[in-house]
Chain A
Amino acid sequence: MGKFLARRLLQVPLIVVLVLTIIFFTLRLSGDPAALYVGQDARAEDLANVRRMLGLDAPLPVQYARFLVNALRGNFGQSLRYNEPALPILLERWPVSIQLAVASLVLSLLIGLPVGIVSALRRGSLLDRVSMTAAMLGQGAPVFWIGVVLIVIFSVRLRWLPASGSGTWQHLVLPSLTLGAFFASRVARFTRTAILEALPQDFVRTARAKGLSEARVLWAHIAKNAAIPVITVTGLTIPALIGGAVITESVFSWPGVGNAIIAAVYNRDYPIVQSGVFVISLLVLATNIAVDVLYAALDPRIRFD
């Protein structure tokens, strides 16, 4: 396990540099950020001044080298739009993003796990069919549509919950339901499949033959064996919930990381985009490593050495 962890950790900087390199060059393919900083009636010298000020007058390889050296020191430069260091601007958005992600994750697990388990245990029943149809709809319906429907019902018609903004638990309900609906469906389907695969296994038959109660068979044997795919999907979900909740954040005016990165892409604010991608790629890598470690912790048959 130690060797495995060391190997994975050694890959992290390489992957991060690769990701940053890709984002550095792709961003620069699509427009001149200086264009956003000069007025409509600017002159050529104004544009040249802005380019010089932003360090965009240097050749691209020089810009790239400067960027990498600074990034390795944790310095992603000044935001072109906000005139402040980029990373702190992004980090100030993390609390609200994590808040939304955690709420959605809890919701999706609280809904998805029991639904998946019950559907598997009652396979073919009406309950199973209804649950899986709902899960299919939850995964198939666009997130913005779910968001708008919830807003129309709970904010516009009933006026129970706010349609936008952040700051109170009420603000959290609709965005987390919107985001959670998609992931709950995914968790439910994965859980159901995993349990169905575990049910006919010998160890389940043996557990029952030992006279264990059905609850104990389920929790101690089936659930534990079915946990691995569920953990995998949950692990993959976490970064998507934090960095990829762009549509939900947009629909609910939720001031999170996803919105900030999209606005930065829109404004060609390279430092913000680069620091955002850096943080999210670290998160993805950390989650993947954590999931691998969890595999070993849950299933003694899995050994990475």
Chain B
Amino acid sequence: MTRKLAFRTRVCLLLAILAMGIAPIGGPAPLGVGTGRALAAPAPVEVAIGLTALPVSLDPVQDNGLTALATYSLLYDRLIDIDDRGNERPSVATSWRAVNDRTWEFKIRTGVRFHNGEPLDAAAVKFAIDRALTAPQSRFRTTLGPISRVNAPDATTVIVETSEPFAFLPSRLGTRVWFYPPRYFQERDVAGFTAAPVGSGPFRFVSWQRDNFVLLDRHDAYWGGAVQIARIRLRHMPDYNSRLTALEARELHLGYIMDVDDAERLERGGFRTVVQPIGQGFQYFFRTTIASPLRDVRVRQAFNHAVNKDLIARVFFAGKTRVLQGQPVGPDAQGFDADIKPYAFDQRRARQLLAEAGHPDGFALPMDIGIGFAPRAKEVAEMVAGDLRAIGVRTQIQENERGVYLDKLVNARMGPMWELSLNYAPSFDLLPVLNNFICDTLHKSHCDPQFDALYRRWVGSFNEADQKRLGNQALRYVSQQALALFLWQIPGIYVTSPNLQGVRFRGDYTMNLTQATVR
């Protein structure tokens, strides 16, 4: 009898212990949005936004990814902003000029304060730039340009010196470095600051949980004007279907969607879709540095003529993105040349060029694509392969998982034709584009000393007219040499709920919520 009781007691005890585990333990605070209509705690006016990723840290030097910009831009300010057409706009810097070919001067806006009341002055700007260049955690140590020294001679002036002429310093530095109060940061150090960050942006920090959510409240004294939305919750939702169902369940007011068909379905349910082309030109790079028929410019041009880009863009993106006009950037890039003639879809001309290059019967070619970098990459590759097959080129699509793809890229192991979403956001200038065609790249796709010389003159040119002319020459070289199969800009497809209005999207995945309202 005792043993019988003991067995039952043990079973009951086990179940009781298991049941105790159900009680929420250490989870985040309950969501105001997302608990469904019937659960109905009185809903605060809170806008929930589903992002593909939150930053790895709220310390803004620790994440240099484009996906982090959406969060940082709400919490922090930077020297220069980019509007929804890709144009530079003064932000914390009211103006900037080259003092000489190695010195830049930025004038800092007066009266701007951080959320904790500290002034955002030249000293704060210098502190943030210095830290971005030197902090062990910084991901910007090598990406801001050849900066040798930063000075703040007075509260409204920042002088940046470079070790060599670098004409692109304002856009590079101005769009990448975010500001935070130096005294507050020094009192808390990295961990303390990351736990409770302070910026000067339209929203101030409330709470966050890594890879889960960031909660921000309106900053009532925002220097850029009154903000309408009281609270926003940014949610880390890397899974596409999860974002989609959360939108359908009305748990999100705004979400980034990758599929036009899904966006159209949501539109039928009352959502609004906004398509903002991103500052990323989707293309297939040609490696002219390795043995393949693609070393011949006629073959590269033939490929550009053979592919029906408009049709593919219509099929996969309902025509809602911009097809690249024979160059690697869209019209939102500073330096875009509207006079460059795009490669028309003309398979007869393509076959003729192939024949002239000595390949009348075509050839076989491997084609490297990456998984998870661009929407519909696999389907697009298959359609491109179909068009190339029509001119006799038999491509073998090689799918590369993200890590493998990046490994191949940085170690110059890509095949003769490989997919690249060429990123020119957040600065929207030609520098991050054209520097992919010089000899000294990691992927080693092209090497022409003449182009390198032109590139160097362009980067070191401070005369505005010269810079424009040289940049245009370099861009035309890339176009005429057909160094890539130019396809389209990555479309940023956003879906917003009917009660959210006034959001403006930019081509660097950031959004301007200062004028947004929610019913």
Contacts and interface: CB of A to CB of B under 8 A. Distances in A.
Nearest to B191: A84
A172 interface: yes
Nearest to A250: B239
Given A163-B246, A224-B7, A253-B235, A95 B21 contact: no
A77 to B, nearest CB: 14
A250 B22 CA distance: 20
A268 B251 CA distance: 32
Contacts of B237: 164, 253
Interface residues of B, number: 70
Interface in B395-450: 401-404, 406-407, 409-411, 420, 422-423, 431-432, 435-436, 440-442
B309 to A, nearest CB: 22
Interface in A148-205: 148, 151-152, 155-156, 158-172
Given A82-B56, A219-B8, A253-B235, A159 B18 contact: no
B15 interface: yes
B211 A167 contact: no
B28 A167 contact: yes
B194 to A, nearest CB: 9
A41 B245 contact: no
Nearest to A247: B239
A37 interface: yes
Contact of B249 (A33, A156, A297): A156
A171 B37 CA distance: 14
B434 to A, nearest CB: 9
Contact of A162 (B31, B407, B411, B442): B31
Interface string B232-269: 00011111011001101111000000000000000000
Listed residue (A33, A160, A162, A253) with the most chain B CB atoms within 10 angstroms of its CB: A253
A251 B239 CA distance: 7
Given A168-B35, A253-B236, A266-B402, A155 B442 contact: no
Interface in A52-105: 81-83, 89, 92, 95-96, 98-99, 101-103, 105
Contacts of A18: none
B403 A40 contact: no
Contacts of B4: 216, 219-220
B78 to A, nearest CB: 17
A95 B142 contact: no
A45 B38 CA distance: 58
Contact of B211 (A43, A219, A263): A263
Nearest to B30: A168
Nearest to B436: A41
B56 A81 contact: yes
A146 interface: no
Contacts of A96: 26-27
Contacts of A158: 38
B248 A156 contact: yes
Given A46-B142, A95-B27, A167-B28, A161 B410 contact: no
A109 B251 contact: no
A36 B213 CA distance: 23
A99 B410 contact: no
A47 to B, nearest CB: 6
A302 to B, nearest CB: 15
B67 interface: no
Given A251-B239, A253-B239, A168 B31 contact: yes
Nearest to A154: B36
A226 interface: no
A35 interface: yes
Given A99-B27, A170-B35, A251-B239, A44 B21 contact: no
B95 interface: no
Interface residues of A, number: 70
B22 A164 contact: no
Chain A binding surface, main DSSP class: helix
B143 interface: yes
Given A43-B440, A83-B62, A155 B27 contact: no
B7 A298 contact: yes
A267 B65 CA distance: 13
A165 B411 CA distance: 39
A228 interface: no
Contacts of B409: 35
Contact of B411 (A32, A268, A298): A32
A85 B239 CA distance: 26
Contacts of B39: 160-162, 170
A229 interface: no
B406 A164 contact: no
Contact of A35 (B18, B37, B407): B407
Interface in B1-25: 4, 7-8, 10, 15, 18-22, 24-25
A258 to B, nearest CB: 12
A124 interface: no
Interface string B458-496: 000000000000000000000000000000000000000
A164 B18 contact: no
Given A98-B25, A163-B245, A298-B7, 14 more contacts: A31-B404, A32-B407, A35-B411, A40-B420, A40-B423, A89-B210, A102-B19, A102-B22, A105-B18, A109-B15, A159-B37, A165-B246, A169-B22, A259-B211
Top 7 A-B residue pairs of the complex, sorted by shortest distance between their CB atoms: A102-B21, A31-B403, A35-B406, A95-B26, A155-B249, A31-B407, A163-B249
22 contacts: A31-B404, A34-B410, A35-B411, A37-B139, A40-B422, A40-B432, A42-B410, A42-B442, A82-B210, A83-B62, A95-B25, A99-B27, A103-B21, A106-B21, A148-B241, A155-B36, A160-B38, A163-B246, A167-B27, A172-B22, A172-B24, A219-B4
Interface of A: 30-44, 46-47, 49, 81-83, 89, 92, 95-96, 98-99, 101-103, 105-106, 109, 148, 151-152, 155-156, 158-172, 216, 219-220, 224, 250-253, 255, 259-260, 263, 266-268, 297-298
